[in-house]
Structure formats: structure tokens, C-alpha cells
A and B are shown apart, each in its own frame.
Chain A
Amino acid sequence: MPFIPHTEDDTRAMLAACGVDSIEDLFDEIPPELRADALDGIPPGRDELAVSRLLHARAAQDAQPLCFTGAGAYEHHIPAAVWEITTRGEYYSAYTPYQAEASQGTLQLLYEFQTMMSELTAMEVANASLYDGATALAEAVLMAVRANRKSKARRILMPRTVHPRYRGVVQAIVHHQGITLELLDYDTAGGHINPASLPTTPGDITALVIPQPNFFGALEDADALTDWAHTHGALVIGVVNPTAMAVITPPGEWGAAGADIVCGEGQPLGIPLASGGPYFGFMCCKQKIVRQMPGRIIGATVDLEGKRGYVLTLQAREQHIRRSKATSNICTNQGLMTTAATIYMAVMGPAGLEGVARQCHANTRALVQQLGEIDGVETVFDRPTFHETVLRLPRPTAEVLAGLSERGIFGGFDLSADYPELDNTLLVCATETRNETDMDAYAAALREVLA
């Protein structure tokens, strides 16, 4: 029996100890009319060899094109050590560290993770993860509503330069609580938040969301936006790419006072693309509002003998204690992913992470320059970008992407569904994993497709 160790003798002895004749007798409290028929819709069990054969075939079935698409999920090199260590059984098969003394490995690692994320964003504190970047933004919005006690309006300014899927997820999660998301338009020349779209008579605003870099890859004027928000009593929620943090101003240093809450998608920190998950969301904030932060938080303390140790702390915020008055319903988060991210950051170090960020920036610039030499291909926006850029094409994007796909190139993200005004445009990205040969291949393929 797969994964059931009982011998016939064991089973007999156990039934005798229970005082019953058969396993079936142990289900005698279930009303007979509820008993299910056989599970005919499920195939018979297969052994590991047969399943392995099937899964290898399925994995081989999917094309592995040369990827020039980011749009929220980025192909980065992951040092071999990261997942070798992460999948050790002591991390992989451990439970949430409620029994602190039996979980010091996970707890110390998460304390290090919190420190690394705080350093990366220049914020005071971080939590131990949320599900993904999109839900982290939803939780940040809910947190801002709790933390901004002066604001009664439950009104969030949400730029259109925020990832469209994130905006959708935030709406799906927060609208039950009477929170309104007010869209801010972007500057059609720069591709950044249009300052003219900020309300001229602001009134009561709970928070302003600032993406950095934004969905178009462009860098927002985060200093001015942060100061504007604080002047009007609004909190600032930063949504940032962690790789970019190695080279651009971190949100803790935006404007005069810095962002209040920072969140984002942790996938670039050592997590494979894997069709979209599991990834992890991260969240940081100023310490004075940490009691409004959702999710697990690890704190350092001492044991009976005064020796340093780590525990889950501030648990009175959480659902298992506070129930209907908790900061969030989140329980299980993305522990194993933060394990990988912590090891990734340690193995890369500040120099390695900066190298990745610089190479991504340089590669994308080189790619854009090369593609821009093709007739009818041009950049759409003129703001500085980090590692993604929007290109205009002389032909409908879907058609071009299909042609590139036939040539083994995943050429970018078609913006037209989310931004109808940006038809015939393509969001491209070249991370450190792309080299000159790859970029030449892209340019050659695009020339053919557009010819």
C-alpha cells in the first residue's frame, strides 16, 4: 500500500486494541446514507516508475522558448546551493514553527530573512512572508486602512502603472470592506504616474500606492510622490522589485520621511518561474505600525538560561488568537520560498545582487537598442527604466508574438488587453540570463517576422 506501513499482523493487533473486528467498524458513527460509492472517476494507483514516465513526458511537452518576458515574473540564475539546501527534509517537511524550541532552524532563518528584506528596502521591520506580490499589495491596502487612524475615507489612490493583475487581485480582496480604489492615469510621454492626475483638492486620502519600477519598467518620481502623500495625510505604500533595490533608491529613503508600508513579489530572489508559483510576497513597514502588520513575525528573545533564541511574536494580531478581529485571515504563508530567498541573498551577497541588477539593466538597454534599429520598432515612453521597456511594433502584437514563438522566442508581454490605448505594443525584458547570442537571435527573429 503506497505510504502505509502496516503489516497484516499490525492491523490485526491494532483492531483488537480498539475492540473492533474491522476497520469498517470504526466508521460506524457516520450515517450509512452518507457513505460514498467507489471512486470510479479516479484512475487506479500507479507506482513511482509509471508516474515518473508520465511526468517526464508532460514536462518535455511544454516548449522552452528563449524568454524575454517579465511582467511580474523574472528568469534569474539560481545558484545550485539554494535549492539543494532548501529541499533538505528538515526545512521541506517541517511545520509552522509554533513549537519554538523544536524549530530554531526555521525561526533563526526567518529572523535573518526579515533583516535582509528590511535592509534591501531600507525599512525598519519586515514580516515572514505573504502569499505573493499581488496579495501582499491587497494586505498592504488593508493594513493602511487600519494604520492611518486619522483617515476615515477608506480611499486608496491606485496608479494605472501598477501591475494590472495586482490591481484586480486587490479589488477582489478589499472591496468587501468598503474600500475604494481611485485610479491615477499615467503620463503618455513618460509612462510614469501623471502628477496632473493627483487630486487637486485631495480631501481625506488613506494611502497612495507607488510602484517602483512600475509595470512599464519605468522609474516613478517616488520622492515627490511620497512628500505629496504625506503632506495630505496619506500613507505611502511602495510596491517594489527586490532586484532593483540593489541599485535604485529604496522606499525607506523616498522623500523626506520614506514609505510607510512596502511590499512586493519575492520571486526574483531565487524562486523559479514554475508557471506562476509558488512564489512569495514580502512586506516591510515602519516599526511604529508593526502591530497592524498581517502575517507571521519572528522576534529574538532568550531562554531560561539567558541564551539567544527566536519565537513567533506579536501573535495577538493573528487569526488563531484574535479570530474575527485579526489583522488578516492568513495562516499558512510561503515558508519554504522565504527559505530559498534567504539562502539566495546570502549566497549572492550585496556584490552579487548588485551585479545581477546592473546586468539586467544593461542587457535590457542593449536589447532595446538592437530591436530599435528594426524598421517601425521604437520605444513608447521616455522615462528612465530598470529592466523592462515598452516597444511599439509596426504590426499587431499577437501576430508578432506568434511568429516569434515559432522561432523559439517568447518575445514579451502584449499590453493591449490591459491598456487598450497601447495597441501594437510589447513589454520586453532581458535579465542577466540572456547573453549577446540570445539577443542577436531575438533581433534576427523579429526582423524575419516583420519582413
Chain B
Amino acid sequence: MTQRAVCEPLIFEHSRPGRVNRAQSAHLGGELNGIPESLRRKHPPRLPEVSELDAVRHYTRLSQKNFSIDTHFYPLGSCTMKYNPRACNTLASLPGFLGQHPLSAARDSQGILACLWELQEMLKEVTGMSAVSLTPMAGAQGEFAGVAMIRAYHDARGDDARTEILVPDAAHGTNPATATMCGYTVREIPTDNQGDVDEEALKAAVGPHTAGIMLTNPSTLGVFERRIHEIARIVHEAGGLLYYDGANLNAILGKVKPGDMGFDVIHMNLHKTFSTPHGGGGPGAGPVGVSEHLQPFMPIPVVGRDDSGAFRWLDEHDLPQSIGRLSAHMGNTGILLRAYIYALMLGREGMVRIADYATLNANYLMARLRDAGFDMALPGRRATHEFILTLKHQAKEPGVTAMDFAKRLLDYGFHAPTTYFPLIIPECLLIEPTETESKQALDAFVEAMTAIQAEAEKDVETLKGAPYSLPVRRLDDVKAARELDLRWQAKA
């Protein structure tokens, strides 16, 4: 309750004209002799004028208004919010790594190149793909790279009739958005009542116009697509390629390799499976893995090793058919380094254990919630690393929604699960506990859900008004979108 009492002003409201942080600028200055008056700025930007202590205190206070993995259980489906080991940050932040200019010669960069090359090799092994390019900067950019490679592959064969990408209706929104960015039209494939792709609909949809299909397996419904071989056969026979969205790779790491399922190209979300931080919305990293026939089209740069064992960047001279560069340099190198450090600590046996315990935690939590009276969206299926609970009965009687449950969970000290996704399940909570949570944390979550259900039955208004104990009560999204206020303005 103490949090609510504190309203932290904006940094601009802490500002006082003429307050200067001399520790950062005492000796800086110099004449602008080389810049004619006509090109110079007339009025300084109205950045805050605060002391260093003002800034430190303000941003420390703001941090305390956040939920985070370090402070709260985060059962956020499809996002894999597991512990981000501190060693990954500390070691990736060694001065030797942070000080390196991106255009440094390869001879001066053998240390970082060795790390990246070994990460490429480990990702190849765990996914069963022929080659890996680390450069995409997030899952969505990995998707872009993958679909662009599919297009480059068809183009290189002179096959320009393929204009359509197939996407299951349960897919992440990035899948159809990516297909559009790559110039494709999108056709949705329905899901059957067991959560698998509707095979008959797929057969009817494929043809000479099919460039490929984008699939997540386990799917966003939290179940393993059992007929994946059949799907691969149908799409491949029609001349299309299979794209694997690695958002849910955590569930099958070391158990099943996407390459063995028949996928031609994949992306991985290192900020999920390899535990790099989400940082309040990034940076991520979305390396792509390819089968042999897509190797020539990989985005550059890729790390190569010559016969002498020296590492170097492979560029357009090495991969003339590449889809090109997707960042000015090597993407989010520091994030790749964190994933590498994590992979070294886990090792071959640790990777398999991720899938084991992520799956155990999800199935345990699902069993406990089912026993507590909650409805599962796909009751006959095993959970993978996540599962979907539907509150469609509660929405009718007593009349509380998934959103109400989500907001009330915040009062109980739990971050809300993913709500209203996938779009095809009504009033759903998509719950992913991850392997780094203990049985005790999961049990506490079940108790909170049970208590909230009891509250709902007693008085729905308790939930409608939630949250009560956070820095703010429920916020008005509609006002935010109608009366746009996107920046602070100095009072006239």
C-alpha cells in the first residue's frame, strides 16, 4: 500500500533552470568555429536540468514501480520469463567486450568472434539446422530474415508464381505482419478442436501459389503439433517451404530438433529460450537457422573460420546471394554474448533439463488449477511448457473476465499471465511458468487463483476495481488513444 502514496513527478518537473551536473561536463566545451551561424541551433533543447542525485533518485524510484522477474513470478505465456542469470550480464559487460568498435579489424576481434562462432555451432546442434546466422535483432526480424530467404530461394529458381504464405489462425501477430513486409499475401489456416492444424483445410489451401507456411511447434495453444510430418509433406509436395517460429523452443530444447521435423528455416528467440533479459521490451536477438538449400541466402554477417583457425566476418563476397544486412553491424552482439554465456553454463545436459522442467512445471500447474476447478481450453491434451485456461464460464456467471482476473493477480503479487491470446480461445489466460520457478512459487500462484475465484463468487466488484495496491488503479486506455498525450510540454 505504501507504493500508492508515492507519486513520482516527471524528470522535467524536477528540473530547475541553471542546475548543471558539473561532474559530467566541467572540462567540456570548445568553440564551434567550423560551423557557420546559419547551421547552428538557436535554442537549446529543453532537456531536464537536474543534479546527478536527482536523476539517480528519480530513476531508482521509477524502477520500484515495475514488476520484474527479479521481484515477481511472471507466468506470462509465450514469453518465457525465466531467471536471467546475473553472470551473463557481468561477463558480457567486461571492458574488453564493451570497448570494441564494431568496425575493428578481425585480427583485433578474435576473442568476441570466437564466442559468436561457438554460439553459432551450439545453436546448429540444438536445432538440427545446417547453418546459423546470428544477426537478426529480435524474433520479428528473424521472421523477416526467414521469409525473405524463402522468397529469395523461389526467386533464384525462377519460380515467381508463389505469392502466398500460410499462417495458422493461432499464430503470433508477427507472422502475418512479417509475410506482408516480405510482399506476400497471407492465408489463415484454421485449427481443429484438438488444437492441431486442420489438415483438410491445409490440403485445400496449398498449391503452386504457396511460398511456404509459418508454424510454431509447440503451438501457441500450448500443445505439440502431432502431425508435423504430414504437414511438412503436404507443403513440400506443393513446392512450399516450412518456417519454424522458435517462440516456444523452450519446451522441446534437446528433445526434438526443428530440423528433424522437416523445417527449412527457423528463428530462435534468445531472449526467451536462452534467458537473455527482456529489458522492459528488448533488446532481443532472433538468430536464424537454415537447411542446406537456404544457406546461400543467409543474412550477413556470419562468423566464419578459416583453415588456420582464425575467425572472420563472412560478407557479401562470401555469400553473394545473401538477402543482405539487417543491421549496420552484427545485430545485438551483447545479447548474443549473454546467450553464449548461458549456453556454456547449461551445457548439453542442462539444455535438455530446460525442456524437462519447463514441461513438468506447466503440467503440474495445469493439474493443480484443474483440480481447483478451473477449465482448460484443451482438456484432453498434455501441456507443453505452457497451457491455456479459459474463464468463459466465469465471464457468464458471476460475470468476471480474464482481464479482471489478470488485474487482481497483480494485487496478489503475481504478474498476470498472457490474456486474450491466442485470439481463438475466449476469455483465456495463457500460462507459462518456466523451469526456473520452484514448486512453492507455483503452489502460491494456485492459492492466489483460488482466492480470486472465491472473491469473484462473493462480490464481482472486488475484481472489477482491481488493482488496488499498485502505483495506479486501472488505467483508461480509451482516453489515452483519443486524447493523445505523447510527451510532456512546458507550461506556457
Contact = CB atoms under 8 A, between A and B. Distances in A.
A153 B331 CA distance: 31
Contacts of A165: 325, 328-329
A102 B67 contact: yes
Contact of B125 (A39, A324, A363): A39
Interface in B138-180: 138-141, 143-144, 148, 151, 172-174, 176-180
A103 B66 contact: yes
A135 B144 CA distance: 12
Contacts of B474: 101, 303-304
Interface in B449-486: 465, 467, 470-477, 479-481, 484-486
Nearest to A386: B35
A179 to B, nearest CB: 10
Contact of B104 (A51, A168, A245, A410): A410
A320 B350 contact: no
Nearest to B358: A4
A95 B379 CA distance: 29
Contacts, number: 666
Contact of A73 (B94, B101, B105, B331): B101
B475 A34 contact: no
Contacts of A4: 353-354, 357, 435-436
A51 to B, nearest CB: 5
B204 interface: no
B63 A90 contact: yes
B35 A311 contact: no
Contacts of A253: 42
Contacts of A339: 279-280
Interface in A352-409: 352-356, 358-359, 361-363, 365, 384-386, 401, 405
Given A355-B25, A384-B39, A301 B476 contact: yes
Give the size range of B's interface with the partner. Answer: 35 or more
Contacts of A432: 28
Interface in B321-339: 323-335
Nearest to A167: B325
B64 A45 contact: no
B486 A108 contact: no
Interface string A67-107: 10101110101010101110111111111110111111110
A421 interface: no
A355 B27 CA distance: 8
B309 interface: no
Given A272-B98, A355-B25, A119 B46 contact: yes
Given A34-B260, A245-B41, A358-B29, A365 B34 contact: yes
A30 interface: yes
A314 B483 CA distance: 11
B128 interface: yes
Contact of A44 (B24, B261, B278, B348): B348
A265 B347 contact: no
A299 B359 contact: no
B289 to A, nearest CB: 14
Contacts of B335: 277-278
A384 B44 contact: no
Contact of B329 (A15, A19, A275): A275
Contact of B138 (A29, A48, A131, A304): A131
B425 interface: no
A311 B109 CA distance: 42
A108 B10 contact: yes
A355 B72 CA distance: 41
Given A273-B99, A324-B186, A15 B50 contact: no
Contacts of B279: 91-94, 334-337, 339
A2 interface: yes
A313 B480 contact: yes
Contacts of A297: 486
A313 B329 contact: no
Nearest to B24: A352
A46 interface: yes
Nearest to A177: B183
A277 B30 contact: no
Interface in A282-330: 287, 290, 296-305, 307-311, 313-316, 318-326, 328-330
Contacts of A59: 94-97, 111
Contact of B183 (A5, A79, A115, A176): A176
Contacts of B364: 14, 17-18
Nearest to A108: B62
A112 interface: yes
Contacts of A322: 173, 177
A114 B24 contact: no
A51 B280 contact: no
Interface stretch (A226-234, A342-350, A440-448): A342-350
B471 to A, nearest CB: 5
Contacts of B265: none
Contacts of B323: 172
Contacts of A324: 176-177, 179-180, 186
A125 B489 CA distance: 11
A343 B83 contact: no
B345 interface: yes
A117 to B, nearest CB: 9
A256 interface: no
Contact of A58 (B29, B111, B174): B111
A64 B60 CA distance: 33
A114 B350 CA distance: 41
Interface string B9-41: 011100000011101110011111111101111
B325 A90 contact: no
Interface in B54-92: 54-56, 58-60, 62-72, 74, 76, 79, 81-85, 87, 89, 91-92
B121 A313 contact: no
Given A39-B126, A326-B173, A10 B367 contact: no
A166 interface: yes
A332 B328 contact: no
Contacts of B480: 299-301, 311, 313
Contact of A91 (B33, B96, B280, B488): B280
A10 B324 contact: no
Nearest to A325: B180
Interface stretch (A20-28, A181-189, A199-207): A20-28
A51 B39 CA distance: 51
B478 to A, nearest CB: 9
Given A115-B487, A173-B326, 7 more contacts: A20-B363, A29-B223, A29-B224, A59-B94, A96-B281, A169-B326, A336-B283
14 contacts: A17-B368, A23-B356, A26-B382, A36-B254, A54-B344, A69-B101, A85-B56, A90-B71, A95-B74, A112-B10, A277-B283, A277-B331, A278-B282, A328-B177
Top 4 closest pairs, chain A to chain B, by CB: A45-B347, A276-B329, A362-B30, A89-B70
